[in-house]
Structure formats: structure tokens, C-alpha cells
Chains A and B, each alone.
Chain A
Amino acid sequence: MTAYILRRLAFLGLTMLLTSLLIFVITQLLPGDVCRVILGREVGENALEACRLDLGLDQPAPVRYFTWLGDFLTGNWGNSYSTDAEIRPLVMERLGNSLMLAGFTMLVGVPIAIGLGVIAALNEGKAIDNGISLGALAVVGLPEFVTGILLIEILAFRLGLPANSSIRETATFAEAFPSLILPALTATFVLLAYVARLTRAGVIEELKQAYVRTAELKGLPRRTVIWRHVLRNAMLPTITVVAISFGWLISGLVVIENVFNYPGLGRLMVFAISRRDLPLLQAISLITVLGFALANLVADLLYAALNPRIRIGS
């Protein structure tokens, strides 16, 4: 197992290195002169030249890449071109918000989703199952902004929950909590359908296995058969998907963050793109990819830890 973890970690490092290269190349290939973007159209050649020197743009590309990577690794992420603010605290703050939203969504959504999936599977073909399956299908079909707006309509205006989820920098979790509810609920809906359907399929598949018959004919209570035998195996694919979707929740909620005006990483990314703010964009991209890669790693390790057939084999 240790060897397996080490191998996966090395692989993670390699992935990140390649990604950083890719990000660097792409951002360098973007059309337009960075200094002109920064300084505006009216400045003279001299000022532009000074700016280029200042940014080290006269250096050859490989040198610039390694300087950038080195700076990034040592925590020197530079300043934003568009606001001149320091990038690291900005990204970190947004990352914190995104993590909070993602964590909250998982905390609420995953147990509900798994519960619904299991209930549907245990009542396969009955009314409850059809209800859950239909509901899940409908929710998957709806785009996030539709669910978001519906929720605002229903919950914000009727119950007085804040529809605008902007958070003050200094807010504690308790203060931020009400703002989290609506975006988290919206995100939950997307997650819910996927995870519930996956769980349902997994449980139905496992219920057919011969070991379930063995467990039943031992005389175990139905509860124990489901909990200790069926779920343990049925959850394997679900756990992987849940762990991977955590990566998606961190950065992929652009639409939801916009609908609710929530200060997460997704919105910052949109901002960076619209302003051609390259250092900011690079930082966000790297952090996002790292998030995805870590989520994947956790998914694989969890899968291996729960599945002896993989663990022993490798």
C-alpha cells in the first residue's frame, strides 16, 4: 500500500509539472501584448519597453517558465495586472470560500443522495423508486441557473434567506452560513441526482450477487445484510465519484456563483479572463488543477483502501 501511495504521489507531481507547462504555454500564446493591456493604448514605446523589461519579457521562454514556476513554488505569486493587488491572499481567500461551499454541499448533499439511492434500490420498481428516479432525472435535466433562480423565487423571497451571497472578508463561518445555504442547495441538486442514481445502480447490482444470498441465509437481519454486506461493496463506485466531484465543486460552480453573487474561485476566474489578468489566471488555473488532482488521488486511495482485491494485488 505504501508503495502504491508513493507511486500515486509521484504521478501527481508529474501531472502538476506538465499542467504548469501547459498553462504557461497557453497563456504565453494568448494574442495581444501584455504590457499594452496593462498600460493602455495611449502610452509610448519607451514606457512599453520598460514594462517588458520589468516583467522579464525579454528573457527566452524556458527561463521565464522556470522563473515563474520557482516563484510560484516559493509562494511569490506576484501581483494582479488589473488591480495590482497581491495575488496569493486574493486566491487563497476565494479558495477558502469555495472550499466552504463545496464542503457544505457535500455534507448536506451526499448523505441525502446516498440515502435516496439506497431507498430507491431497495424498492426497485415500486412507486418510491419511480418517484426518486424521475425526480433525479428531472433535476439533472435542469440547468443550474434555472434551479438557482427557482430556489431564489421559492426560498429567498418567501423565507427571507439572502439571495445575494456576497461575504465580507472578515466574516466567520457562522456569519457566512446563511449566505451558503442557497448556493449549496443549488449545487446539491446537481450532485444529488448523479450520486443517487449511481448509488441506486450500485446497490441493485450488488443485491444480485451470490454473497448476499449467503448473508441472508446465515439468518442475518435484513438491516445488517444491507449495511454490512451490500453497501460496503455498492459504495465503491459512488465514493470515487463523490471524491472526484469535490474537485468540480471547488472550481466548477461558475454559474451558481454568478447567480448568487458568491465570491468563489469560479467567479474570480471569469474576472481574470475578462481582464486578461495573466498572473491571476495562471495562479487560479494551477490551484484548480491541483484541487482536481488531489480529489482524484483521494478517490483512488479510498477505492484501494476499501477494495482488498486492488490493495493486495498491487
Chain B
Amino acid sequence: MASPLLQLQQLAVSYKVGRRTLDALRDVDLSIDAGQTYGLVGESGSGKSTLALAAMRYLPANGFIRSGSIMFGDKDLAKLSPEEMRARWGRQIGFVPQNPATALNPSVRVGDQIREALRLYSRDESDVMEILKQMRIADPARVARQYPHQLSGGMQQRMLISMALSGNPHLLVLDEPTTALDVTTEAAILDLLRGAQQMLNTAMLYVTHNLGVVATLTDRVAVLYAGELAEDAPTKELFRQPLHPYTRGLLDSVPRLGQRKDVNRLRGIVGQIPALGETIDACVFAPRCPLAIEICWQKRPTLDAPTPDRTVRCHRWPEIMAGDISPSRAVEKSSQVTKQAANQVLQVDGLQVAYKMPGGTLQAVRGVDVQATSGRTLGVVGESGSGKSSLARAVIGLVEPSEGKIDLLGIQLPKRLTRRNRVVLSHLQMVFQNPEEALNPHLTVGESLSRPLITLRGVKPADAKAQVGELLAAVRLPADYADRLPSQLSGGEKQRVAIARAFASQPELLLADEPVSALDVSVQAAILNLLADLQIEHQTSMLFIAHDIAVVGYLADEIAVMYLGQIMQTSPAETIFDAPYHPYTEALLSSVPPPDPFVKQERIRLEGELPSAVNPPNGCPFHTRCPRFLGDICVEQKPPWRETEDGKRIFCHIPLEDLLRDQTDVLQFEGAKKS
């Protein structure tokens, strides 16, 4: 077989911070063949970006290659001069970054930025139009004349990809290229990459924390943990039988489409990734590993090759491979579901939220009706700009709705927060997306938690301390955390404290706006389970907002799908993945990359861009992009609500019989259906 295109051998990379030298990568061996798509996964801080940048010899100023080699063709990149590297950048190795908004020069037209690359690679400048067309851009001449800030995130990323491909590189390094994008946009970008890859036979090193992307796009995957290669295998084999307990933990942390909290709990991984430090003579994963035994603490495992085309760094892989032991964590005993009579907690009717803007009025929410009942979760999914956060903000009182009625326990809420009394405030609590901003940095955890106890529940300050301990225990944090400041907590721990604070006043309704999307998958799994347990215990009603339909499907009992300020479909969570669907739900489901390479997925892609909420389309809001568009009726008339027998409600002109006839299940599971 031909020699690999890129081969990292015993690569070690360190960062100098002050006087200390921190090891970010240790003894990494990895090789990529020409034309291969190689995924690189791991939690935040595991060293993925460091590896990607090191492979291009473009480390931050304080980073350096301590030892090892980076063979690219027959040259060791680690030994090349900066000028020799420059001759390879763009022409042999292309790069696509994570955040397209900042990666383009803001004061140069995008067309000129691409032309600059073409000129550099001695190509014809007029190829720009051709290249943009290949990126499936409808109006390339106009787009080329635009400045980056005039384009959407998806368009900006297309510009960067076309630039990276214009030098016809042998290797494309992509660092989380779709993480900042919506799923429907992500799906389109992944299609483009697949197409380009087939046409140009470019090898790709694709860095991501999204196991779904890895499963659908890559040929091979490497799993990084704490700067070490834990495991490396062909994608299908890795998903079929992970040999490293960390890989197993990652797979057990993400809900598969259709996985439900009450049937099949996420197992996750305990603890968190260690801070950078020195190489220790033990397995780096031992503190979190359910299979750790004595030798794991005494000797660092070697990188073994169980089969010719996979490697793993674990003492116990032979037992795992033979099936003698299971690396899955035991499921935590969850609170028993006691079905109680559900009573209505929240009733929202005809809610509208509008924001005044320089260019007009942005209609964020346009007539939404939702209900939430005690002990149950209403999940709201939608892409950015669908109005899901505005809905939550109106309910909690952070924005004043322009129209509509919000009832809590049958009593209409004043729209303005200042008019709401203590009882209302204590019944309504919210958990936000970013745990970093949720807590007052100057208050200890104990102080943060006793405040709502004292002000909203009237607990005497003297008794608050004991109750703080109970709250901490409820979110599985040790009691001595009460004395810590937020800066001494990890992101996941902060989110636990925020959840404890929300439950302090024993709310009837908890609003959770993307509470897990800033967290690593292992932490996300733990938080989702925590929310589920607390809800069962307190019979709280929950409005859970997320962009990830698998996460919503896992936690919610009912699901509302939003698009451009309106609800397109509501459905029991159990049936959200079954046809018939609203055409938007169908597109959404076919865009989510399932974290399972054995799932077959329909491919439906949305054309065009999300219309402006300042001037939303008439009739059906989805008509400008709907793949099942019927014609004038969709443009002119508001669709009716159609109800299915299994409790779905669909906002569409297409009759249910037709939907049932034309749609098949978007996701086809191999073997037994669903988990």
C-alpha cells in the first residue's frame, strides 16, 4: 500500500504558560491516507485544535513541538522553516476554521478574498464564479461583491471552504467548521464537503465534538483524551464496538434520535477532563473510568493494535474486545416515575413578541399557543431566529409581549416583571444557556442559593444553611461547595448550581433555555438526567428549549417545532420521529446527523436563506423554502391545524393522507427500531 499522506509519529506538543511548560499532546501516532476523511473527536480541552494546528505547523506563539515528527509526503514538517511551510499552506494543506464570522477579512469583498487565493495559486481569477457555483451559491456575481458581514454564517463558511479548496490541497484541515451553524445549514455544508472530497479526492482531518457528524462523514476516527490518543479505528468499527472506556462513555453520553429518558437513560461519564499538567505514570482516564483496576493507576497503558487497522491505549482492551467486561457505566438509579394526575400549569395564547429595530419591527414570536402541565416537559426546538428564546423570555417577564395572554395556574400573569408579586416570581424560575454568566461571581455558592430561599420562600436565614446543603445534594454536589466562588467551579458544576438555585423556590414551572448546549457531552448527559430526576421528584412543569432535536426528544414529553416565530408542529415526544411530519420537521430531522453510522437517513435539504423576521412571508411562513410547496395556496393562505390520531398537530395545507402517502420515516434504523 502507498505510504500515508500525513503521518504523526510520537508527536508531543507543549504550551509555555509563565514559567511552566504544559503538555497538550503526548505521543500521538496517527496517519491519514490520501483521500481519506479522518474524524478527530474528544471533549473540550482534549487537544483537538492543538493537534490540527500542529499538523499544519501553525501553533500559537507559546506552543511548540517538543518531540516527534509530522511526515507529510516524504518531508518532516516539524523540521521545515516557516518559509517552507508557507509554500505548503493553501497549496498542499488547506484550512477551514470554526467561526466563519471572524475568519474573513471584514473590509475586503469576499470575491476579492477568493481571487487573492486564486492569483496566489496561479489560477485564473475568473474561476471565482465557477467556484462559487460549485458551492451551490445561487447568485454568485452578487455574493462575490459583498462584504463578509452581509452574509449569513453558512454563506461565510462556503466562502472559506471555497478559498481553502482553491489551491487544490492534498489535505484539508477543518476545525469544527459547522459548530457555529444551524443544523439545516450544517447539513448543506457537509454535503458540499462530501461532494468536493469525491471530486478532488482531498483528504480531510475533521475536528469536531459532534459524534453525529463523525458518524455520517468520516471513514476513520481518532478519539483524543487529555492530549493522548485513546483510540483510533474505522468509523463503523468504532461505533459498533468501541474498545476504550472513554469512547464508550462518549457514545453513551449523546442521546440517539428516539432515545427517551424514561426508557433508556444516558449513562455519560463521571467527573471531568483533567487540567493540563505533566505526564503521569498511570492511565490518564483512570479517575473517570468505570473499569479502572490497580494496574491502571500504576502503569501508563501502551498504544496497542488489537487489529491491523485499529489502535487503543487501555490495559483492558482484550477483555473488552472479548466481551468479558462492559465499559458502559452502570445506569444511575433514577427516581421512580409515579404517575400523578397532571394539572395545567402554563397556558400561553396568541403570544406575540416584537423588537423595535432601526430597519423596522422584528417579529420574533407571531402568535404562539402552548400549554405545559405539572410533572411534564414541553420541549421547544427550532433553529436560531425561530423565536424560541423570545417565547421563554416573555413567559418569565424579561420582555413584554406585544399581544397575547400568559396564564400560570389559571391566573393571568401581568406582562411586566415589576408587576409580578413574590408568589409568581417563586413559581417561575429559569436556567440559562451560559453557566458562566448565570451566577454572581462575587457570591459564594451558599449565598447564591440562600437568597431565593430567604426572599422567595421566606426561610429564616438561620435555617437557610441546612437547606442549601439539601439543594446541593439534590444536584449531586458535595455540601462543602457552599463556600466556593463560581470561579472555582467547572462549567457543568456552575450549571448544577444554577439549577439548584432555580429549584430553591420550589417553582411550578421551570424554563430552561438551552441549558446544556454550552457543555461537553459527558456533562450534558449528567445535567439532562439531573433535570429529569428533579422534575419527577418535585412534579415541576418544564419548558425546555434546545436546538438539538435529539436532546429535546430525550427529555421532553411534548415537543413543539418552531420556525420563524410560529409553531409548525406539536407532537408527543414518542412519535416525533415517525411520519407524518410537517415539511419543516421532516427537513430538520433529515439534517441532524445521527450519531450512528448504521442509520439510514432521507436527504432533504432546504434551499435559500431564512427570511427576515422584519418582513416575514405571508401565508405559511415556511413557503419560501418548503420542499413540498403546494403553490399559491401556501403563499396566500394561512395553513390549517391538522390533527393526527396519535396526537400530532401539523400546521400545513397538505392533507394528512397525502403526507402519510408521500413521507416515509426519515430515519431508518438497522435491525430493531430505535434504541
Residues of A within 8 A of B (CB): 209-211, 213-222, 228-229, 232-233, 306-309, 312
A273 to B248, CA, bound (A): 85
Whether B107 pairs with A219 at a CB distance below 8 angstroms is no
Whether, in the assembled complex, B91 has its beta carbon less than 8 Å from a beta carbon of chain A, the answer is: yes
Whether B120 pairs with A213 at a CB distance below 8 angstroms is no
A221 to B116, CA, bound (A): 12
Whether, in the assembled complex, B24 has its beta carbon less than 8 Å from a beta carbon of chain A, the answer is: no
- Shortest beta-carbon distance from A265 to chain B in Å: 36
A111 to B650, CA, bound (A): 66
Residues of B within 8 A of A (CB): 56, 58, 86-91, 93-95, 97, 99, 102-108, 116-117, 120, 147, 149-150, 160, 163, 167
Whether A211 pairs with B102 at a CB distance below 8 angstroms is yes
Whether B147 pairs with A210 at a CB distance below 8 angstroms is no
A232 to B105, CA, bound (A): 9
The listed residue (A214, A217, A309, A312) touching B104 by CB distance below 8 A is: A214
Nearest B residue (CB) for A220: B120
Extra pairs beyond A218-B167, A306-B107 (8, CB < 8 Å): A213-B58, A214-B104, A214-B160, A215-B105, A217-B89, A217-B93, A219-B120, A309-B149
Whether B106 pairs with A309 at a CB distance below 8 angstroms is yes
Task: Name the 9 nearest CB pairs between A and B, nearest first.
Answer: A219-B90, A219-B89, A308-B147, A210-B102, A217-B95, A218-B90, A211-B105, A210-B103, A214-B103
Q: 23 A-B contacts, Cβ less than 8 Å apart?
A: A211-B102, A214-B95, A214-B103, A214-B160, A216-B86, A217-B56, A217-B58, A217-B94, A217-B95, A218-B90, A218-B163, A219-B86, A219-B88, A219-B91, A219-B120, A219-B167, A220-B86, A220-B90, A228-B108, A229-B108, A306-B107, A309-B107, A309-B147
- Shortest beta-carbon distance from B561 to chain A in Å: 33
Whether A312 pairs with B150 at a CB distance below 8 angstroms is yes
- Shortest beta-carbon distance from A220 to chain B in Å: 6
In the assembled complex, which residues on chain A have CB atoms less than 8 Å from the CB atom of B116? 218, 220, 228
Whether A312 pairs with B147 at a CB distance below 8 angstroms is yes
- Shortest beta-carbon distance from B506 to chain A in Å: 46
In the assembled complex, which residues on chain B have CB atoms less than 8 Å from the CB atom of A228? 108, 116
- Shortest beta-carbon distance from A52 to chain B in Å: 54
Whether B89 pairs with A216 at a CB distance below 8 angstroms is yes
In the assembled complex, which residues on chain A have CB atoms less than 8 Å from the CB atom of B163? 214, 218
Residue among B95, B99, B107 with the most chain A CB within 10 A? Answer: B107
A213 to B116, CA, bound (A): 15
In the assembled complex, which residues on chain B have CB atoms less than 8 Å from the CB atom of A211? 102-106
- Shortest beta-carbon distance from A124 to chain B in Å: 9
Known A214-B95, A214-B160, A218-B89; contact A233-B105, beta-carbon cutoff 8 A: yes
Known A308-B147, A309-B149; contact A218-B120, beta-carbon cutoff 8 A: yes
In the assembled complex, which residues on chain A have CB atoms less than 8 Å from the CB atom of B87? 219
Whether A308 pairs with B103 at a CB distance below 8 angstroms is no
In the assembled complex, which residues on chain B have CB atoms less than 8 Å from the CB atom of A219? 86-91, 120, 167
In the assembled complex, which residues on chain A have CB atoms less than 8 Å from the CB atom of B88? 219
In the assembled complex, which residues on chain B have CB atoms less than 8 Å from the CB atom of A218? 89-90, 116-117, 120, 163, 167
- Shortest beta-carbon distance from B431 to chain A in Å: 31
- Shortest beta-carbon distance from B125 to chain A in Å: 15
Whether A210 pairs with B90 at a CB distance below 8 angstroms is no
Residue among B58, B90, B94 with the most chain A CB within 10 A? Answer: B90
- Shortest beta-carbon distance from A43 to chain B in Å: 64
A211 to B112, CA, bound (A): 14
A217 to B163, CA, bound (A): 10
A220 to B108, CA, bound (A): 15
- Shortest beta-carbon distance from B654 to chain A in Å: 40
Known A218-B90, A308-B149, A312-B150; contact A210-B106, beta-carbon cutoff 8 A: no
A30 to B86, CA, bound (A): 69
Whether A308 pairs with B107 at a CB distance below 8 angstroms is yes
